[in-house]
A and B are shown apart, each in its own frame.
Chain A
Amino acid sequence: MRYWYLALAAGTLAAADPSYINDIVPVLQKNCVGCHQGSMKSAGLDLTSYEAFKKGGKQGDGFAQTIRYLTGEAKPSMPLGQPLLKAEIIDKFKAWVKIGAPDDSPKVESKLAPGKYSLPPVVTALRWSPDGKRLAVSGNGEVLIHSVAGEQTKLEQRLLGKSERILSIAWSKDGKLLVAGGGTPARFGEVQWWDSSSGQMLRATELPNDTVFGASLSPDGSKVAVGCTDNTVHAFETASGKELYKIGSHENWVLGTVFSADGKRLVSVGRDRAAKIMDASLGQFLENANTTQKSELNAVARHPAKDIIVMGGEDRYPYIYSMDRTRNMRVGDDAMFIQQLDRQDGVILALDWSPDAKRIAVAGASSKVNLYDADTGKPVASCSGHDAGIYAVAFSPDSKTLATGGFDGKIRLYRASDCLALTSFVPVPLEQATGGGQ
């Protein structure tokens, strides 16, 4: 266990009194929160926390109204479409409200300690520092920073945070700032700002409900954009961690974002198959880049200097688009489309454009990474070695090395010109198995 839970004294309750944490929460969890949760909120009601329960939904007063629905006094009776709960359970609810609905849930404070690994976790994000000397890699509840010198690598730092999964990593141009986006699935999302030299967390901002995807840093480092499961793009200010705006123009989860070269615009892609161009300072939707895509999009990357993007997903084709149209808009016109690359052997999950602008790396559910000439779209090389699919690819700043990671939990470094395998390593410190089980 990575956390040290410290349960503080939970108030004094008479032994026979009904308890929120022991009597109420289990019932809510089994019967109610499927519909009354943060991401669904049927009737506006969220029953996943004491505060939200108390606040209630559209009908107001969470406690009193809930009892009316549980007893069938209000229709339709709850749980919806099921018989009423047993009378003694409903009586517990009533008794608990009668004594003032006390919140006896233990106040949890967690202190972070470095995790132990018996198996390597999947690698979901990796990024080179601008000087090419360090590689930041996702771990379980942490970002691990390795120094890389030729084929020699060494674990230098472990940045422990609250988020279980780190799904994207970005460095500022000067290499001082490291941003990590992620969260814990179906629980919360988080953006973390780190001082990369000291390994100190500068700040973190949490979002409710679920992880954030495809975090990207604006070229000047002042803003971070993330995609969310509530179909929005959020942007935060690096200096304060404050939310600048959120944009709700997608119709499904947003999985990737990237800023334009000048930082004035940003593109987001997602499961709604759309690539949307936004005004990055105002937080307003400008236009769709693609109009004919039929595939859910998982990843997006930009040309190092120009406003040209490559994106891909479910249908396995990498698509190259311009962020600027060359002619006036017409209905159904795909004017910004430039080129389509080869169909991949699996769904596309990760893309990168080399800093020298010459290469595009495409990876996903296949165990190979394919490299393409960014000007002609012709395949250049194919890097193999992983046991299974790949979730993250990154070119080194000098464009000479490609780092990859995925399901098998290993990092592989390839020579970017011909895919020669340079080295591979497990990025987390492995321990002897302590014999599974719960």
Chain B
Amino acid sequence: MINTITKRSAALFAGASALCFGTAALADGHGLDLSGETVEWIIPFSETGGSARWANFYAPLLSEALPGNPTVVVTFMPGAGSTTGANHFQGLEYEDGTTIFGSSGSTQFPYLLNDPRVRYEYGDWNVVLASGTGGVVYLPADLATAMENGGIDALMDENFIYGSQGATRLDLVPLLAWEMLGLDVEPVFGIEGRGDGRLMFERGEANIDYQTSSSYLSGVAPLVEAGTAVPWFSFGALDADGNIVRDPTFPDMPSFAEVCEAAPACETSGPAWDAWEAFFVAGFPAQKMVFLPAGAPQEAIDTYTQAFAAITERADFEEISVARLGIYPQLTGDAAQTALESATVVPEEASDFVINWLGERYGVVLQ
């Protein structure tokens, strides 16, 4: 605590002297020097979610990697499924490189679906890191056994219950996948986090569920070991050419593409598949991104890019990250830019298809 106070007062002092001497810190032209500064990392969710875990993992490493070792604090600004925080960040202009923003799939989807609450524009921001993740669908043991014996047809008569956070959130990806497979899944909305969804599954009220990779590893893997849950498929991952392949974190699980091909009701082409693929690509392989605000100069972008690159190139990075992030690409530089583009642009047919489907199936009106 004392440490923070002194750093904050140092920041005050630095701020005061900067007023007198102009922007001395930027004068050397080699990038930012953030000595004595406090970097505020805005996370548009509460302290409980996956984004909090992700930011809390990176924050201390970022502090080490940035020139001048600034204090990095994570600020949580939850609200309206992350649109509150994103709108706030949109209103900020670049000042001194001490404000960054962490977005997630739940920030991307409303943007892609033209949600009226969205007042932000990804094109204005500057991406410096893109972190991927995956997702795994799992079933209770009895249904998994039934499917093993009777194939996917054995699931067609089942009334599935799924604890969902909302059809316009990341849950859109599994819901659409199940619909394509021909399953009758009724989402029970109002779940406060995927952890609550898992609890509902454990209580036997929900009988199908999905978790993102890190939560699967920590929360569901023990259930699989105990024999109460059985993994069905992972959504997959993108290879270098943009094809959906098996998720390297779960090489033994089929990808959704494989399951879909095998299922009579499902096709890996056509408008439904294209829409699913587009939203999967938007939601998972570049799920969480770090941005500098609009108007950031190149040197600031470079400084942060180098810092994040230095983190992901650490010798012990795999060791410290595998349990918390899983084995997924942590992209910086051009790769991050490419990931951003594929995550924030979906073909119009895909978004039209999804908007239409949301309206017909769940009565969601995005106006």
Q: Tell me, yes or no, whether A binds B.
A: no
- Which A positions have Cβ atoms within 8 angstroms of B? none
